[in-house]
Amino acid sequence: MTFRKEEFLRSLKHIAGQKFTWFAIFMVSLTATAFSTRTDDHYDTVVAEEAQEMEAPVLERLSNTDTELLTADEHANTPLPATELPRALPAEQPAAEADLTAKLPRISETASAPAKANKLIRYANSLMGTPYIYGGTSLKGFDCSGFIHHVFGTFDVELERSSRMQGTQGTEVALEEVQKGDLLFFTGTNPKLREVGHVGIVISEPGEPVSFIHSSSNGGVKVSELEGYYTTRYMFAKRML
């Protein structure tokens, strides 16, 4: 009896030991599974968070780029205010030319013919004594037609360069009707050759003896009267104003 009891107890201990072993194995398995699951979940969470952190700057940069592009387009389509619009600069006139132009007297287009003639004659008289230079048209010296061309040209009255061609311009007037500013045409030094070879500007008043200013080969710019030698050379008169 005692032997069987001891054998029974050993059997129970063996069974209990086996059950404990299986139970321990089962618990260890559950623990490992749970740990593995939590580890995987934790890993996935970390990866997701890192991905979000990496995406955030990229999205922010893309957003900023879109904003900058939109801002640039808006500026491109926005009209400039009137104060910022480029304005055309006035053309500059050379200083030397501007000074020369300012010093030259001008005849107003609305001025009467006598007023124009008076201004023209005042300027012509200011050139008294300028030497005679054949072919000259400047203040350094004039020939007869060069003097006429310069004086009238100063007041924007364009005449031909030669006395012969100047004689084809303007309106012919009788000698008895000449006024200040009219032109007197003469032959050259040979009165028998009836071709225009000399010219002068009338400076006398109507009713007075006719006098004129001209550039002569004998004395340069001077005043002469229509008498004697010049009477024999006289051909006709023209009005240019």
Which are the catalytic amino acids?
A: 144, 198, 214
In terms of phi and psi (left: phi > 0; alpha: psi -120 to 50; beta: otherwise), the region of 124 is alpha
Three-state secondary-structure class, residue 234: strand
On whether the CB atoms of residues 175 and 227 are closer than 8 A, the answer is no
Tokens of 182: 């009219």
The conformation of residue 132, written as its DSSP 8-state character, comes to: B
